[in-house]
Structure 1
Amino acid sequence: MTASGRLHATEQVRNIALVGHAGAGKTTLLEQLLARSGAIHSAGSVDKGNTISDYSEQEKRLGHSLETAVCHLEHDGIFMNLLDTPGYPDFIGRAISVLPGVETAAVVINAQAGVELVSRRIMRFAAEQRMCRMVIVNRIDAPDVDFAAVMADIRETFGKECLPLNLPAEGGRSVADCFFQHEDKQTDFSSVQEAHTEIVDQVVELDEELMELYLEQGEDLSPEQLHDPFERALRRGHLIPVCFVSAETGAGLNQLLNIFTRLMPSPLEANPPQFFKGEGEHAQPVEISGKPDDHFLGHVFKVNVDPYIGKIGVFRVHQGTIRTGDQIFVGERRKGFKAAHLYRLQGSETTEIPEGIPGDICAVAKVDELHFDAVLHASHDEDQFHLKSVSLPEPMHGVALSLTRRGDEKKLSEALHKLVAEDPSLRLEFNAQANETVLRGMGELHLRLVLERMREEFNLEVETHPPQVAYRETISRKAEGHHRHKKQTGGAGQFGEVFLRVEPLPRDSGFEFVNEVVGGAIPSQFIPAVEKGVRQVLEEGAVAGFPLQDVRVIVYDGKHHPVDSKEVAFVAAGRKAFLDAVSKAKPQVLEPIAHVEVTVSGDYVGDITGHLAGIRGRIEGNTTLPGNRVRISAQVPVAELDDFQTTLKSLTGGAGSFTMSFDHYDRVPPDIQKRLEAEFSAGQGQ
């Protein structure tokens, strides 16, 4: 207990996310660490379905983590929050979304498999977020592991700054400390002295005085002397420590706990969170003190919707202290909520706590206003504060939903919104053109398990079918358009005339509306009506019925009538003038292109590349992986990928896997554009 009466101080907190590809052993590793520290009586087993972190029925049935679990332990006076994240590629969004809650991303790698897809993607994300990173090589007890090749793979993928703090020994049955004790022990590759020298050399590069002491006087430096420059190296990405362990045998686990407690940064030592005040171009960086006596500031990085107790918000305290009974505000909401109960999480179990200080991970329940990425605060001074947004992968896989039972529409809407609220990698869309509700996720498994939850938890039966492809329209050259809207039906009429130009914008630029009318040719009060008419076409499409993008519209002239000009007239004139201009601007239909990575045995590379080429795919390259596996990278139109999962299973006997992510929009071939335009025209004529 600290002098202030608190159970721990911020400098005694460590927040670490265990991330990495499925099968690396993250859950087993967490169980062993919890058991060794005394946080639980004994380690559970994934096979037996009794682990602390995989507690849902789906997780027990599949034998894999599907949600992030928050757990904690204490070791040598350090309080540690550990997050066990899912490793399936389909759930990478769920893993990435919780990283703002921690300082350190610990990428767990299977020694037999080497660096895999999810590990690469999360490590890249963590680097972009300026997080401290480390690598844990698990399963070193597995047979026939080439440790030198594993280390070379890590350094080739993540950089030369990856250096081991320990080394496997006795064929992976034990480890040799290369940092704290410099054990005189035979290792399975490299040597203790070589590894120790590399670490020290890397660390002292950031401390001139220490480097001088080390080089000129030849003195060996103690871990205490190296601590501050070690933390600096972590913050700058100048060092990514590597630790070898076996969660199954326990080799290296005690040292891993020591590395977590003695070398991984506290919230005060890591790069500070990037908070801003205001939105868009007006947003200004805000410095967060991290002091317990300042205004409370927290960030919600995970939301669960429990069918019995409602919404549970898991948040990280960044500044100030939150206490039971405090009045807390969510974002810019003027009305707050009372924090009647504060909880600490151990998997699915909750323990009530009196307060949370900077660095703590806490939870509150039954607060409907909470949502992912919300900022919690105790003063209206922080109303406009927000954390730097997390760039999550675009959910590409989609299914269109239709109910099998009438009368369940409201129930379906409520269920979908609850599921989307707790999973930031899910997206709900309504396609007005096709009149379909579309649920999008990160992959087939992701969506299948969500639909399974709808059936089991919400008693909803839905039918699914492939959604309409998210085509877009654009223009490829400048053009002018004009329309005079004149309507006389007796009494007051309608009159509005618009002249405008259209210009193509760079891809993904969106839409710009420019008013260059002078002399009152179109009175200023009618300019918004012209824009409204233009935006109607943007939403509905001009040539094939798909949203139009990447266009600048410049209204430069027009005419009005002092009596008959009305808003409705200029809406119609703006709409028709825009359609006229688009028809002359060589309109094009765009289709979404996905970046696809297919991992297969080397025996199937020819079959897969041939199939991808046959569905208009462009092969970008192949990467050889351990175990006679090859990763094929390609860009493929999303429209061609509807049944790719089935085809891949057929071609590889179920031994292949793939991921896809949105890459860009590109023009469809002329024959496809012609077909889409014809279908749209036929529909308009009905």
Structure 2
Amino acid sequence: MSYNTENIRNIALAGHAGAGKTTLFEALLHAGGVIQTQGSVERGTTQSDTDEQEKTRGHSIDTAIAAVPFGKSHINLIDTAGYADFRGPTLSAFAAVETVAIVVNAANGIEYGTRRIMERAAERRLARVLVVNKIDMEGAPLGALVDALRDEFGTQCLPVNLPADGGRQVLDCFFHGEGTTDFSSLADAHQRILDQVVEINETVMGHYLDSGEGELNPQELHDAFEQCLREGHLVPICFVSARTGAGVREFLELADRLLPNPAEGNPPPFLNGDGEEITVNADPLQHVIADVFKIVNDPFVGKLGVFRVWQGTVRRDTQLYIDESKKPFKVGHLFRLRGKTHEEIDQAIPGDIAAVAKVEEIHFDAVLHDSHDEDRIHLAPVRFPQPMFGLALEPKHKGQEQKLSQAIGRLAEEDPCFRVEHHKELNETVVRGLSDLHLKIMLERMKDRYSVEVNTHPPRIAYRETIAGRAEGHHRHKKQTGGAGQFGEVFLRVEPLDRGAGFEFVDAVKGGVIPGQFLPAIEKGIRQALEAGAIAGYPIQDVRVTVYDGKYHPVDSKEVAFISAGKKAFLDAVGKARPIVLEPIVDVEVAIPEASVGDVTGGLAGKRARIMGTDSLRGGEIVIKAQAPLAELTDYPTELKAMTGGRGRYSLDLSHYEPVPPPVQKQLAEAWKPHVDDD
């Protein structure tokens, strides 16, 4: 290995679907000499879209990783999916990079996904670069697009190069200020970006002014540029045509000369076991700390854990621990990835992206370390959208229940926005994802990879129960069966907590009227009731329970008696505390043609939705923002397709829970037939 941490650049290619990220990924690999022939999305020959579903559909579903040597740099590129349906793996990649290159379609301009990715990258304090692709398209309004990007994202967005000769070449305007471009003076662009860069650092500004606003030395430029990126004071705009190669080498030169290395980027927050933020150093001689940001279940090499090294050096044949596990695993094989190709390497230094195979215990977001001084450290979690779409599954063929469970478990390991729920009371397995398309793709993968076919039906909506008032409950559990009996008596109080607070158990027993060893049994009984529900069969949340009195018998009192007494005293109190059913309210964003606005807003209003606002995008597209009950959106994919001629798309994210209307609560309560244990 001929590079060190200062030479590494970690860059995620992200953006709206159709912007050309995968083609750019190919062009960058080709320009860096990694591949001899540039692959094609249309022919299904790219290094990143290797899954059969990706080839068939012509777009990325998962992330792909490859390293490009260029100049003095070792550039780790991560190609990500553009569709919001597959946002989980995309956001996971943000935990492994210093820079996000947001790819923009020159013809379509700022699209829905452009905004979302810019917001998420800024939220993670990552350096951002806007890469305008397809500059060779005839009539692409490049000058107007630069103005739009600055209007939308701020005046810190400035070109560092400009297209010339109809998009057939790109001229640098950061280091040089001479030449003729398609829409702007190169000298003016050169001056604007220099002024923006030097004002971030007083020392650099002084040198710049002392030289009569002349040129700075390369190191001063790099340091000031990198500081601008780290502080969000500059978002460079680069122009490329991934199809023709125009601007591709210029982008690699930008990465090599100016983008932050792992020691320069904003480090993500690492937390210790007490939740306190700690510093992790990109020092190859320190203890190892690495974060697993991707899991791949490969049919040839087994389970693959892909990780970013933050501190220390991971070497082949050494031992690592996973999280707080006391049992280490041996790094038998250490890989560098290039799409589906795995190159074996001897070590991975700070900033590197590498993978280990055949470690069953490894999981997404695991911290790998080589010292128990680090076994409670974890990376602050990425904020993922909540998977709100659900399908209940059952195997199409009898006897495949275990195979189904294993298959969906493997898929859930790979995508943090694909969740699996098992509802014991209904004997129902439910999978949840970000959209109907997301779930469809995952079930097709399950069939292709694991030969498991399923029947599906809509699951129950994830309602919750809570209380609106305070009340007291009591139950005496007494059984006599001829020998030793059962006895336990509990008095408790319930009161509502703030929405989202969960459950709180308070021991206020005085004088030993209930011995301390029975308090866990009372709490266990209460938690059983919380899970099973009280009025409509849905989990109860946002409740404080205070146990303040009771009785016991020195011979007959047992844990089982206090479990039952706690459960029924709690149900007694809940019934008096104005119980209510809560429904999930989701943030809905619908992108539609302008002509469909009336139909779509009217349709949402009929679903008890609240319209929160609208945004206009280029090309006559409108984004409607609303909040609506999830229960009302069961058939929305079909309805939206009909209203917009198939041109509408939407996303959901959980906002909050709020009470259902009284008629809905009555209907839910009547439909629930609770099972009461015999005393």
**What is the TM-score when the length of structure 2 is the normalising length?**
0.96
Within a 5 Å distance, the mapping from 1:134-533 to structure 2 comes to 134-188=129-183, 190-215=184-209, 218-222=212-216, 223-278=218-273, 282-533=274-525
Is residue 106 of structure 1 aligned with residue 101 of structure 2? yes
Is residue 8 of structure 1 aligned with residue 3 of structure 2? yes
Point out the more displaced range, 593-602 or 289-298.
Answer: 289-298
Task: Find the counterpart in structure 1 of residue 540 from structure 2.
Answer: 548
Superposed CA deviations along residues 394-450 of structure 1, whole A, max 9, x for unmatched, are 111111101111111111111111111122221110122332101111111211111
Equivalent residue for 1:44, pick from 39, 45, 65: 39
Is residue 74 of structure 1 aligned with residue 92 of structure 2? no
Q: Residues 494 and 569 of structure 1 are in contact (CA less than 8 Å); yes or no, is this contact kept in structure 2?
A: yes
Q: Quick one: which amino acid aligns to residue 28 of structure 2?
A: L
Q: Give identity over the alignment, percent.
A: 54
Distance 2:581 2:144 in 1: 47
| Deviation at residue 170 of structure 1 after TM alignment | 4.2
Point out the more displaced range, 203-212 or 532-541.
Answer: 203-212
SS of residue matched to 1:47: coil
| Deviation at residue 332 of structure 1 after TM alignment | 1.9
Distance 2:256 2:328 in 1: 37
Equivalent residue for 2:570, pick from 578, 583, 586: 578
Distance 2:358 2:286 in 1: 26
| Deviation at residue 670 of structure 1 after TM alignment | 0.7
Equivalent residue for 1:21, pick from 10, 16, 23: 16
| Deviation at residue 142 of structure 1 after TM alignment | 2.2
Unpaired segments of 5 or more residues in structure 2? none
Equivalent residue for 1:648, pick from 630, 636, 640: 640
| Deviation at residue 171 of structure 1 after TM alignment | 4.2
| Deviation at residue 589 of structure 1 after TM alignment | 0.4
Distance 2:257 2:478 in 1: 79
SS of residue matched to 1:564: coil
Distance 1:442 1:421 in 2: 16
Distance 1:584 1:160 in 2: 59
Task: Find the counterpart in structure 1 of residue 597 from structure 2.
Answer: 605
Q: Residues 434 and 468 of structure 1 are in contact (CA less than 8 Å); yes or no, is this contact kept in structure 2?
A: no
**What is the TM-score when the length of structure 1 is the normalising length?**
0.95
Is residue 56 of structure 1 aligned with residue 69 of structure 2? no
Distance 2:497 2:391 in 1: 31
Superposed CA deviations along residues 372-415 of structure 1, whole A, max 9, x for unmatched, are 11112223332222222122111111111011111111111111
Q: Quick one: which amino acid aligns to residue 58 of structure 1?
A: Q
Equivalent residue for 2:557, pick from 545, 565, 568: 565
Distance 2:659 2:189 in 1: 52
Q: Quick one: which amino acid aligns to residue 205 of structure 1?
A: E
| Deviation at residue 216 of structure 1 after TM alignment | 6.0
Task: Find the counterpart in structure 2 of residue 3 from structure 1.
Answer: none
Unpaired segments of 5 or more residues in structure 1? 1-5
Superposed CA deviations along residues 92-120 of structure 1, whole A, max 9, x for unmatched, are 11100122111111111112222223332
Superposed CA deviations along residues 427-484 of structure 1, whole A, max 9, x for unmatched, are 1101223321011111112111111121122111110111110000011112222222
| Deviation at residue 226 of structure 1 after TM alignment | 1.9
Q: Quick one: which amino acid aligns to residue 108 of structure 1?
A: V
Q: Residues 176 and 187 of structure 1 are in contact (CA less than 8 Å); yes or no, is this contact kept in structure 2?
A: no
Is residue 669 of structure 1 aligned with residue 661 of structure 2? yes
RMSD after superposition = 1.9
Change (3 A) 1:670 1:148: farther
Distance 2:294 2:315 in 1: 20
Distance 1:160 1:551 in 2: 48
Point out the more displaced range, 594-603 or 121-130.
Answer: 121-130
Q: Quick one: which amino acid aligns to residue 567 of structure 1?
A: E
SS of residue matched to 2:602: helix
Q: Quick one: which amino acid aligns to residue 275 of structure 1?
A: F
Distance 2:425 2:210 in 1: 74
Distance 1:530 1:156 in 2: 60
SS of residue matched to 1:172: coil
Q: Residues 15 and 81 of structure 1 are in contact (CA less than 8 Å); yes or no, is this contact kept in structure 2?
A: yes
Point out the more displaced range, 667-676 or 328-337.
Answer: 328-337
